[in-house]
């Protein structure tokens, strides 16, 4: 594993590149999703932003970039940026260009175009923004160190925030929320849904195991090895299971991309 902030950012950058690339390829393969008749149409997003109330120049400029098929150029640029980060994550001009392309693409596609507010989208934007700021700061040792600690804190806070949000909801504490998720057509997993419906105690156990692990995630950093390996292994398994079972592939790459920074923080606190 990497032992310096600069080496950590190589790993984070490469993982962020994979995230950007895998988010872009499905849109390039099925551009109809972004057409005016698609699920992510620009007219719907345009109304939400109230562009008709903006200046004519501003609305036309945004329309020129966000409307279909012009938006496919944005998708292609983000994909190229992701590929560049995977191929050249070591800093320098190529990494800077790739980071700008990825960050700009995320803002355009995840914030302006869709703005679903999903945790994975927020994490993706935050990670790419942190990498961009580090690159714009010249990639100095201080900038790399600050970026790594920010990413480690971001990862820990995201899990604590999600766990705390679940803890405050009675349906999550009782296991009913999980049962409802498994029963929805989009996320339904028939075999697990039947088990949870027949044995509510299993639903409660699974619910508490998830929110408990999220709340305790920062202990991996505080306690060091082997605790940090346990929480990271749990995170990989948790997001991989969600990706396979519920089709939440973007969550996997978005949330594991800062993991090298989490590992580094644990090592630094106990060195």
- Region at 140 (left for phi over 0; alpha for psi -120 to 50; beta for the rest): beta
CA distance 251 to 249: 5
Q: pLDDT at position 180, please?
A: 78
Residue 151 CB neighbours (<10 A): 27
Chain centre distance of CA 150: 15
Q: What is the mean pLDDT of the chain?
A: 88
**Gap between the Cα atoms of 91 and 10, Å rounded:** 8
Q: What confidence score (pLDDT) does residue 117 get?
A: 59
Residue 98 pLDDT: 94
**pLDDT band for position 29 (cuts 50, 70, 90):** very high
Mean pLDDT, residues 132-161 taken together: 94
**pLDDT tens, residue by residue, 147-199:** 999 999 999 999 999 999 999 999 888 888 887 777 776 666 666 777 777 78
pLDDT tens by residue, 208-253 = 999 999 999 999 999 998 999 999 999 999 999 888 877 778 889 9
pLDDT digits (tens, 9 = 90+) for 89-131: 888 889 999 999 999 998 888 878 776 656 788 899 999 999 9
Question: With bands split at pLDDT 50, 70 and 90, how would you rate the model's confidence at 46?
Answer: confident
Rounded CA separation 30/9 (Å): 32
Q: Flag whether pLDDT at 84 surpasses 90.
A: yes
Stated pTM of the model: 0.89
Model confidence at 65, pLDDT cuts 50, 70, 90, reads confident
Of residues 23 and 178, more confidence is placed in: 23
pLDDT (mean) for 136-141: 86
Structure tokens at 221: 């950093």
Q: What's residue 22's pLDDT?
A: 93
Alpha helices of 67-140 — where are they, by DSSP H? Answer: 71-87, 93-106, 119-136
């Amino acid at each position: 594993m990497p032992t310096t902030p600069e080496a950590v950012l190589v790993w984070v950058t490469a993982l962020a590149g994979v995230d950007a690339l895998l988010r872009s390829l499905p849109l390039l393969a099925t551009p109809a999703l972004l057409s005016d008749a698609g699920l992510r149409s620009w007219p719907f997003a345009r109304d939400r932003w109230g562009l008709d109330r903006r200046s004519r120049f501003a609305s036309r400029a945004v329309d020129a970039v966000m409307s279909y098929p012009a938006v496919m150029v944005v998708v292609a640029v983000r994909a190229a940026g992701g590929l560049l980060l995977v191929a050249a994550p070591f800093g320098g001009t190529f990494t800077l260009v790739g980071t700008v392309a990825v960050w700009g693409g995320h803002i355009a596609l995840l914030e302006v175009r869709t703005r679903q507010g999903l945790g994975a989208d927020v994490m993706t934007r935050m990670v790419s923004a942190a990498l961009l700021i580090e690159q714009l700061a010249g990639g100095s040792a201080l900038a790399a160190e600050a970026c790594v600690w920010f990413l480690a804190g971001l990862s820990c806070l995201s899990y604590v925030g999600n766990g705390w949000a679940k803890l405050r909801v009675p349906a999550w504490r009782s296991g009913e929320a999980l049962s409802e998720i498994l029963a929805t057509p989009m996320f339904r997993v028939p075999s697990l849904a039947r088990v949870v419906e027949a044995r509510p105690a299993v639903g409660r156990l699974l619910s508490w195991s998830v929110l408990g692990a999220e709340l305790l995630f920062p202990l991996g950093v505080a306690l060091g090895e082997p605790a940090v390996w346990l929480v990271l292994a749990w995170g990989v398994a948790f997001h991989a299971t969600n990706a396979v079972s519920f089709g939440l592939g973007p969550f996997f790459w978005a949330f594991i991309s800062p993991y090298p920074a989490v590992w580094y923080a644990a090592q630094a606190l106990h060195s």
